[in-house]
Amino acid sequence: STWGKQISQMSKYGHGSSSATKEFFDPPEVLEAKAEKLAEMIRSSKHFIMFTGAGISTACGIPDFRSGPNTVLKTGAGLWQKKTASKKGPKMVMNRAVPSITHMAVYQLLQEKILKFLISQNIDGLHRKSGITYEQMAELHGNRNLEFCKKCNKQYLRDYRTRTALNVHDHQTGRKCDDPKCGGDLYDTIINFEENLPQRDLDLGFAHASEADLCVVLGSSLVVTPAADMPAEVSKRGKLVIVNLQKTPLDSHAAFVVHSLIDPFMKLLMDKLKVKIPKFYLTRHFAAEVGGKGEEKVIKIRGIDELGAPFSCFTQATLMAGKTRIIVKREPYFLSVPPGIHSFDVILYSYGHYKEPGCKFHVDLASFKPIKYKIVFDPAFPGKGWTVTPFQRQNSQPLLFTNNERNKKKKKKKKK
């Protein structure tokens, strides 16, 4: 089912009064008791969901929206309070932000199937960067790194900010769908005030809210609807727990409220659950295959996400064989192999947000088969470079075919 058009539009909300930005802190012994209580609620729940807001990313150096001028946060006042603030937070390059303890904890809870679904208001892309997949969550207000084609609905994840328009309600990015049978215009996915939320995410959010017997809100003021209606929906028949520094309009609907910075409380909670919080590693995937006839070989390479959808995480691909260098900077990368060369290296260069070097892999044409690679980099030890391993997700799509080509192949298989 779908939710009415009237409630699909993001509400317009003012910047808030000083009382709305006042911060509260539970003492350590109270936090300990609340963490224990919540852990027990999670263990006994059948459909546990989480709802996250900008407050989970302040630990990553990204300011929230509504924190007041006297906030304890190192990021300083929220984006709508900065003009009146004496405390200015340091500037953060969003692409260099590292997922927080909370991001990684949420990822692990999903991996262990303790958490059934994530509803997010965050647009910073850090949930996806932590390893959470598109199918595990609803991004209600969009993702700064995601754009899509309105003509064929193909999505493109990027390692950069996709929004280019200056007009608030203009979302065209100027890029085109690279499916040769489509070529439609691409649009960013950011949802601004008084714009409709994406139907898929809206439906999934409300569906899981209707099924949930427990919802934990992390770092949201819960004033923007229809997003805030989802935790409210859970409170009608299940339990709602809110973790936030400020008071929210849904506090009276909650089983209890935790007033704390998000990361310290999540450490406590994960300890009570006996679930280890994983370290963040930058993880990328790409597909490679060889095409062409006779001596005219071409190796095709494309960055992809875990599900096989396009992901622009490289800036160029370079074929290296002896003194031969072939450089391609447009994706997907088609590297024409010179006649007589049957063995060579390919280096993929990233955007370098974490000082990551190029990633090298070897190709032997005689034995090379279409394959997906998973590459992993530790930002804490950039000198170690990338770890490269073959990767094949169960039930994933074929490698580098467009949507139309995939459909043709499926039809041919059915005829056989």
Distance CA(166)–CA(147), nearest Å, equals: 16
Sorted by sequence, the CB contacts under 8 Å of residue 91 that are 6+ apart come out as none
- Please say if 15 is a catalytic residue: no
3-state helix, strand, coil in the chain (%, to 5): 25, 30, 50
CB atoms within 10 A of CB 22: 13
Sorted by sequence, the CB contacts under 8 Å of residue 370 that are 6+ apart come out as 287, 288, 289, 290, 399, 400
* Token pair in block for residue 198: 């994406």
Of 251, 261, 294, 212, nearest to 24 by C-alpha is: 261
Catalytic residue among 15, 47, 103, 141: 141
Strand order in the sheet with 172-176: 172-176, 185-188, 146-149, 155-158, 311-312
Contact 49, 210 (CB under 8 A): no
CA atoms within 13 Å, Cβ hemisphere of 360? 9
Strand order in the sheet with 343-350: 324-328, 314-321, 343-350, 359-364
Q: How far is CA 298 from CA 2, 109, 224, 231, 362, in A?
A: 45, 42, 50, 51, 15
Helix (H) or strand (E) holding 241, with range, is strand 239-243
Distance CA(60)–CA(126), nearest Å, equals: 9
* Token pair in block for residue 277: 């919080």
- Report, as residue numbers or ranges, the catalytic residues: 141
